[in-house]
C-alpha cells in the first residue's frame, strides 16, 4: 500500500505537474490521501489533501498554493496514502516533517517499532502532529543531525533503527541539492535521465520519463545529487555505508505507458476485462508443445525432478489469487491425480500444516508479488524446507525474488483494484501446470494435445463471450438494482465452485453488498433458508455430467420464489428454456474443465455493471488497495 515518488533535477522547473501525474499513476497502490513537498526558495513547502490525487490535486491549483517560484525548483517528493496507522486525515497524510519543517519524508510500508521510537523522541522534546508510524522517521533524522551527524548519516542510521518494511524518500533544506532513498521490504526503483532522476515505488510512475531503471534490493539506499547540469547517483547498503554498489540498468519490457492509460475505455477495469482474450494468448504463448501435448514452462526447467517427484501440492495466496489457486487445485487433482491443499496465506503463515516438505511443493500465487501474507508464507515455507514456486505477475517483485522458481503470469500492469485479467492469466498458468503434472503421470499425448488445442481456441471464445453477454448482463443489473435485492449467492459444483467464490468476491469488492458462494448441493443444508423473492442466485452450470443434479437444485430455488440467473453453454440454455430463469449463454466447450475461463467473464461484467448502476467507483472501490503489504 501507499506509493512514493521523488524527483530531483538540475534543470529548474515546476515539478508539481510531474509529481501529480506520477502520483496518479501510483493511485492503484492507495488513494485515501495525498501530499507533495517541494524545496523551493530555501524552504520546504507542502500541500496535503484527503482523497486521490486525480480528484484533489489539480496541478495548477497546487502550484499556486505552493507559491512555486517562476524560475522553478529542483526537488520534490510525493505520496499516495492508504491508511494503516492512523485514519485518513490531513494530519496523517505524507510528507511528514520534523519539528523544524526542514526535513520531509515520504514512506511506504509499516514501522513496527514506531511506538518505542516515538516514546524516546518525545522524551527528547520532539513534538508529533500525526498518529502515523512514519512521523518517527523525520524526527529521528532531526535528532541525529542535532547530535552532529550529516543528513546522509542521520538518514542511514535512522533506517537501520527501523523494524518492519519501508520504501523511503527524504529531502532537507540542509542539503538542497540532494535526495535520498532507501528500502527494505517495500519496492523502490529509479529512472535516470541526464538532468533528472525520478524514484518511485513502481515503474508506473517512471514510464513517462524512461523505460530504463535501477531497482533497489532490500537494505540498499541511493543518494542523488545535482552536479552542474547533471544529476548523479550512488548506491550503497545500510550495513556498509561507504561501499558503492554498481548495478546494471534494466529495461522494462513487460509493460509500457499504454498499459497504464485507459486507452479509450471509461475505466481501467473495463479495459482490463476486455483485455483478457489477448492476455490469455500472451500468457500461454510459447509455453506448450502441440506435438507432445505437453506444457513447456521455462521458469521451472531447473526443477524438473522436484516437480516429477511431488506427491502433494500446497497453494498459498490471498483474495483473487487464492481463488485462482483453488481452480488450479481442482485442475491438478482431476488431471494429474496429485492431492492439492489450498491455504489462504494469512492462515498458512501461522498454522501447523501436517505435510512433508520432502515431497510436497508450494505454489504461491500473487498478482502484485508484494502481498505481505503471501510473502511471509513463502519465507515460512522455505524455513520449513519446502520447495517454493511462484505464479506471479509483477516481474522482479518481492515474492518473485523469494521463491525458488516460477512462471510469470504476463498479464501486464493491472490498475483496477479488483483483479480481473490477472485472474485469468493465473488460471492460464494453472492449466499449463496441470497439463505438465498430468503428462508426467499418465495423461496421454492425445489427451494433452486435445486440451492444448482447446486452450488455443480460448482467446477467440473469450472475445465471443464478452461480446455476446455484456448487453444481457447490463439489462439484468439494471433490473436487479431497481429491485430490493437482499441476498445474492453464487453457486456451482466442482471446478465451478471457486469461480463462484471469485464472482462473489468481485461482487462484494465493487458493489459493497454481501454476497455468498456455495457448492450448489450444499444449498439445501442451510443457505436455502435465505431464499425468497428478494434473493438472486447466480448458478454456474454448463451442460456437464452434473447438469441434472444442478437442475434439481435450481428447481428448489425456484420453488422458494428465488430469482435465478444461470450461466450455461448452448446445450444447457436449450435445456433450460422452459424454466423461469434468466440465462446467460457462453460458448460450448469440449473439455468441461475449461469452463471457468469463460464463466468468469460475464460474472466480472455483472459485478462491474451492478456497481456502476449503484454509482460506485469501479476502479477504486472503497476500503480496498491493490497491493496489501501489511498484515
Q: Is 626 noted as a catalytic residue in this protein?
A: yes
CB of 323 to ligand G6P, least distance (A): 8
Nearer residue to ligand G6P within complex by CB, 391 or 488: 391
| 83, 156, 321, 391: residue in contact with ligand G6P (rule CB under 6 A) | 321
CB of 132 to ligand G6P, least distance (A): 21
CA distance 569 to 437: 28
* C-alpha cell recorded at residue 381: 515455507
CA distance 316 to 323: 10
Which 3 state secondary structure label does DSSP give 119? helix
Q: Does 283 bind ligand G6P (CB under 6 A)?
A: no
Nearer residue to ligand G6P within complex by CB, 604 or 627: 627
* Ramachandran area for residue 275 (φ above 0: left; ψ -120 to 50: alpha; else beta): alpha
Residue written as cell 480460448? 458
Q: Does 371 bind ligand G6P (CB under 6 A)?
A: yes
Nearer residue to ligand G6P within complex by CB, 418 or 488: 418
Nearer residue to ligand G6P within complex by CB, 78 or 621: 621
Q: Does 368 bind ligand G6P (CB under 6 A)?
A: yes
Q: Does 318 bind ligand G6P (CB under 6 A)?
A: yes
Nearer residue to ligand G6P within complex by CB, 3 or 319: 319
Of 2, 118, 436, 508, catalytic: 2
Residue list 378-417, contact with ligand G6P (CB under 6 A): 417
Q: Does 319 bind ligand G6P (CB under 6 A)?
A: yes
CB of 345 to ligand G6P, least distance (A): 8
Query: What are the angstrom distances between the C-alpha of 42 and each of 145, 171, 176, 185, 621?
Result: 18, 12, 7, 33, 40
| Strand 3-13 relative to strand 73-81, pairing | antiparallel
| 320, 360, 553, 604: residue in contact with ligand G6P (rule CB under 6 A) | 320
Measured at CB, which residue is nearest to ligand G6P? 319
Q: Does 513 bind ligand G6P (CB under 6 A)?
A: no
Residue list 142-171, contact with ligand G6P (CB under 6 A): none
Q: Is 318 noted as a catalytic residue in this protein?
A: no
Question: How far does Cα 95 stand from its chain's mean position?
Answer: 24
Q: Does 367 bind ligand G6P (CB under 6 A)?
A: yes
| 21, 22, 201, 366: residue in contact with ligand G6P (rule CB under 6 A) | 366
Residue 528 phi/psi, 5-degree rounding, is -60, -20
CB of 55 to ligand G6P, least distance (A): 20
CB of 187 to ligand G6P, least distance (A): 12
Question: How far does Cα 332 stand from its chain's mean position?
Answer: 25
From 181, 150, 236, 249, select the one nearest 8 (Cα to Cα).
Answer: 181
Omega prior to 95 cis, within 30 of 0:
yes
Q: Does 501 bind ligand G6P (CB under 6 A)?
A: no
Single out the segment in contact with ligand G6P by CB under 6 A; choices: 136-144, 365-373, 518-526, 576-584. Answer: 365-373
Give me Rg for the CA atoms of the chain: 26
Q: Does 84 bind ligand G6P (CB under 6 A)?
A: no
CB of 628 to ligand G6P, least distance (A): 5
Residue list 601-630, contact with ligand G6P (CB under 6 A): 624, 626-628
Q: Does 511 bind ligand G6P (CB under 6 A)?
A: no
From 217, 193, 225, select the one nearest 207 (Cα to Cα).
Answer: 193
Nearer residue to ligand G6P within complex by CB, 283 or 368: 368
Of 144, 270, 506, 626, catalytic: 626
Q: By CB under 6 A, how many residues form the interface with ligand G6P?
A: 16
Q: Does 327 bind ligand G6P (CB under 6 A)?
A: no
Nearer residue to ligand G6P within complex by CB, 323 or 563: 323
The 3-state secondary structure of 500-545, one letter per residue = HHHHHHHHHHHHCCCEEEEEHHHHHHCHHHHCCCCEEEEEECCCCC
Single out the segment in contact with ligand G6P by CB under 6 A; choices: 368-376, 479-487, 492-500, 571-579. Answer: 368-376
Decide: 74 and 33 in contact? Cβ < 8 Å.
no
CB of 239 to ligand G6P, least distance (A): 29
CA distance 611 to 631: 28
User: How many Cα atoms sit within 13 Å of 97 on the Cβ side?
Assistant: 19
Nearer residue to ligand G6P within complex by CB, 369 or 562: 369
* C-alpha cell recorded at residue 548: 441434472
Query: What are the angstrom distances between the C-alpha of 166 and each of 1, 158, 187, 242?
Result: 11, 12, 8, 21
Nearer residue to ligand G6P within complex by CB, 343 or 582: 343
Single out the segment in contact with ligand G6P by CB under 6 A; choices: 44-52, 317-325, 466-474, 483-491. Answer: 317-325
Residues in the chain, overall count: 631
Secondary-structure breakdown of the chain: helix, strand, coil percentages, each rounded to the nearest 5:
40, 25, 35
C-alpha torsion sign, points 420, 426, 432, 437: negative
Q: Does 419 bind ligand G6P (CB under 6 A)?
A: yes
Number of H helices, E strands in the chain: 19, 27
Q: Does 374 bind ligand G6P (CB under 6 A)?
A: yes
Decide: 19 and 7 in contact? Cβ < 8 Å.
yes
Where are any strands of DSSP class E within 112-177?
164-172
Binding residues for ligand G6P, rule: CB under 6 A, are 318-321, 366-368, 371, 374, 417-419, 624, 626-628
List the catalytic residues: 2, 626
Amino acid at each position: 500500500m501507499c506509493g512514493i515518488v521523488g524527483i530531483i533535477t538540475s534543470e529548474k522547473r515546476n515539478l508539481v505537474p510531474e509529481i501529480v501525474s506520477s502520483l496518479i499513476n501510483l493511485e492503484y497502490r492507495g488513494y485515501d490521501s495525498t501530499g507533495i513537498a517541494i524545496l523551493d526558495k530555501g524552504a520546504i513547502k507542502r500541500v496535503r489533501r484527503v482523497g486521490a490525487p486525480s480528484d484533489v490535486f489539480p496541478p495548477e491549483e497546487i502550484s499556486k498554493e505552493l507559491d512555486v517560484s517562476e524560475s522553478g525548483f529542483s526537488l520534490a517528493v510525493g505520496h499516495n496514502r492508504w491508511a494503516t496507522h492512523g485514519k485518513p486525515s490531513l494530519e496523517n497524510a505524507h510528507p511528514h516533517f520534523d519539528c523544524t519543517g526542514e526535513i520531509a519524508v515520504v514512506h511506504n510500508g509499516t514501522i513496527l517499532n514506531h511506538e518505542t521510537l516515538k516514546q524516546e523522541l518525545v522524551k527528547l522534546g520532539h513534538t508529533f502532529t500525526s498518529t502515523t508510524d512514519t512521523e518517527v522517521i523525520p524526527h529521528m533524522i532531526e535528532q541525529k543531525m542535532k547530535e552532529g551527524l550529516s543528513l546522509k548519516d542521520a538518514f542511514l542510521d535512522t533506517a537501520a533503527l527501523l523494524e518492519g518494511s519501508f520504501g523511503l524518500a527524504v529531502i532537507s533544506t540542509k542539503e538542497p541539492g540532494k535526495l535520498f532513498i532507501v528500502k527494505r521490504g517495500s519496492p523502490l526503483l529509479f529512472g535516470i535521465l541526464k538532468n533528472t532522476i525520478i524514484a518511485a515505488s513502481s515503474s508506473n510512475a517512471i514510464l513517462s520519463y524512461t523505460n530504463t531503471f535501477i531497482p533497489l534490493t532490500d537494505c540498499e539506499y541511493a543518494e542523488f545529487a545535482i552536479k552542474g547540469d547533471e544529476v548523479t547517483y550512488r548506491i550503497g547498503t545500510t550495513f556498509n555505508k561507504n561501499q558503492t554498489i554498481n548495478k546494471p540498468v534494466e529495461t522494462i519490457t513487460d509493460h509500457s505507458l499504454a498499459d497504464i492509460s485507459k486507452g479509450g475505455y471509461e475505466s481501467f477495469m473495463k479495459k482490463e476485462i476486455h483485455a483478457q482474450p489477448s492476455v490469455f494468448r500472451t500468457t500461454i504463448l510459447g509455453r506448450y508443445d502441440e506435438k507432445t501435448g505437453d506444457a513447456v514452462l521455462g521458469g521451472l526447467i531447473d526443477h524438473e525432478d522436484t516437480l516429477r517427484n511431488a506427491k502433494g501440492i500446497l497453494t498459498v495466496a490471498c483474495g483473487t489469487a487464492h481463488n485462482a489457486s483453488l481452480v488450479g487445485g481442482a485442475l491438478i487433482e482431476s488431471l494429474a491425480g496429485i492431492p492439492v491443499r489450498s491455504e489462504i496465506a494469512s492462515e498458512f503463515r501461522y498454522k501447523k500444516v501436517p505435510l512433508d516438505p520432502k515431497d510436497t511443493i508450494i505454489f504461491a500465487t500473487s498478482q502484485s508479488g508484494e502481498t505481505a501474507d503471501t510473502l511471509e508464507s513463502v519465507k515460512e515455507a522455505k524455513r520449513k524446507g519446502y520447495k517454493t514456486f511462484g505464479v506471479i505477475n509483477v516481474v522482479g517483485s518481492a515474492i518473485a525474488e523469494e521463491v525458488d522458481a516460477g512462471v510469470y503470469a504476463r498479464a501486464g500492469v493491472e490498475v483496477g483494484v479488483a483483479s480481473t485479467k490477472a485472474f485469468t492469466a493465473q488460471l492460464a498458468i494453472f492449466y499449463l501446470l496441470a497439463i505438465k503434472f498430468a503428462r508426467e503421470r499418465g495423461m496421454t499425448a492425445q489427451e494433452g494435445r486435445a486440451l492444448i488445442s482447446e486452450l488455443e481456441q480460448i482467446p477467440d471464445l473469450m472475445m465471443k463471450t464478452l461480446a455476446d453477454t455484456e448487453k444481457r448482463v447490463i439489462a439484468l443489473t439494471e433490473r436487479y438494482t431497481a429491485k430490493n435485492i437482499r441476498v445474492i449467492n453464487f453457486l456451482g459444483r466442482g471446478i465451478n465452485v471457486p469461480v463462484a467464490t471469485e464472482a462473489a468476491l468481485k461482487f462484494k469488492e465493487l458493489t459493497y453488498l454481501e454476497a455468498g458462494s456455495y457448492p450448489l448441493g450444499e444449498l439445501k443444508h442451510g443457505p436455502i433458508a435465505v431464499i425468497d423473492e428478494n434473493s438472486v442466485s447466480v448458478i454456474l452450470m454448463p451442460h456437464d455430467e452434473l447438469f441434472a443434479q444442478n437442475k434439481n437444485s435450481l428447481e428448489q430455488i425456484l420453488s422458494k420464489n428465488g430469482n435465478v440467473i444461470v450461466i450455461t453453454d448452448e446445450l444447457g440454455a436449450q435445456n433450460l428454456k422452459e424454466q423461469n430463469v434468466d440465462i446467460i449463454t457462453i460458448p460450448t466447450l469440449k473439455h468441461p474443465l475449461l469452463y471457468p475461463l469463460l464463466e468468469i467473464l460475464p460474472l466480472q461484467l455483472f459485478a462491474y455493471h451492478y456497481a456502476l448502476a449503484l454509482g460506485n467507483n469501479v476502479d477504486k472501490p472503497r476500503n480496498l488497495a491493490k497491493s496489501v503489504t501489511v498484515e
